[in-house]
Amino acid sequence: MNRKTRFVRHCVLLIAALFASTTYAFQHALVPDKPLILIGASYANGNTPLQQDLQGPLQGISVGAGDYVDLGMALTRFGAKVRNEGQGGATTFSRVTCNPVCGTATWDSYSTQLQRALRRVTLFDANGPAGYNADYVIISLSNDCLHSDSFGIDQALTSPCSLAEQHASLDRLIAVGQEVLDLGMKPVYARFASAEDLDLPLFAQLSGLSWAMTNEQYDAFGELYAARIRQELPGAILVNAWGHFTHGGDGIHPDEATAMRAAFHFLRAIYRDQRHH
């Protein structure tokens, strides 16, 4: 290797090192000092709940038999401190699973998940509770209306949500966001992925579901969701976190790269909000 070649190689290595260190510093500059609260369904946390007697909906499974990077994991890879109370399979309301038959173990509602998370970040002084060590609550997408096992009743008795049922679901989601605002924190939501990036029939087939939303139903529900959050929760943050989406093979859950991009988008949105307030 001659002197010129060595010089060029050293320059390339130096530029690569500077780029890597700058990227690392930029990413970590986005991370808030306080913990992030995360609630939701399997995008937030791939684990379904297990109770003390080891009973749980869907037998306590985890997405991909544990081989899945959820949003909580992705956020921590960037250095964020995450108090994750999400539950894989959850809806905004508490329910049992009916896949393949109805059981007794339940998922927590989003409101209960929030209350659990608040316990984790409560500050105390000599007089008792004195506030919360968190400024942002990420409220991840739910299973409401998505498929035949999202109602807590026999799948044979279910059908796609009416417009009134969709609004009722969004009422519950918005109520949780308003509760967050009333506590002096800020709710952070994500827009839906585009249905064309999912494979909802494949998801239904692999999950033992009687049906899942059509692409048209999914996209329409996502637009209604975004419109109501913008209109009714002007203090919330709405992030296009799933805009470039590749599923991991099951038709619905993000692959690792998608989850990492989503985490980055959430952190960037929170960073920008902090800079303006």
pLDDT, tens digit, for every residue of 40-65?
A: 999 999 999 988 788 889 989 899 99
CATH class of 32-275: alpha beta
Structure tokens at 118: 């608040």
Q: Could you check whether the bond before residue 100 is cis, i.e. omega within 30 degrees of 0?
A: yes
- Predicted confidence at residue 28, as pLDDT, reads 61
Residue 137 has pLDDT above 80, yes or no: yes
Distances (CA, A) of 142 to 54, 225, 249: 24, 11, 20
Going by pLDDT thresholds of 50, 70 and 90, the confidence category of residue 276 is confident
CB distance 111 to 179 below 8 Å? yes
- Predicted confidence at residue 160, as pLDDT, reads 98
- Identify the weakest region by mean pLDDT among 4-8, 46-50, 115-119, 234-238: 4-8
- Predicted confidence at residue 3, as pLDDT, reads 60
97 vs 26, residue with greater confidence: 97
- Predicted confidence at residue 95, as pLDDT, reads 97
CB distance 103 to 97 below 8 Å? yes
Domain boundaries, the chain: 1-30, 32-275
In degrees and rounded to multiples of 5, residue 246 shows phi and psi of: -125, 125
Structure tokens at 231: 């209109």
Tens digit of pLDDT for each residue in 126-136?
998 889 999 99
Going by pLDDT thresholds of 50, 70 and 90, the confidence category of residue 20 is very low
60: left (phi over 0), alpha (psi -120 to 50) or beta: left
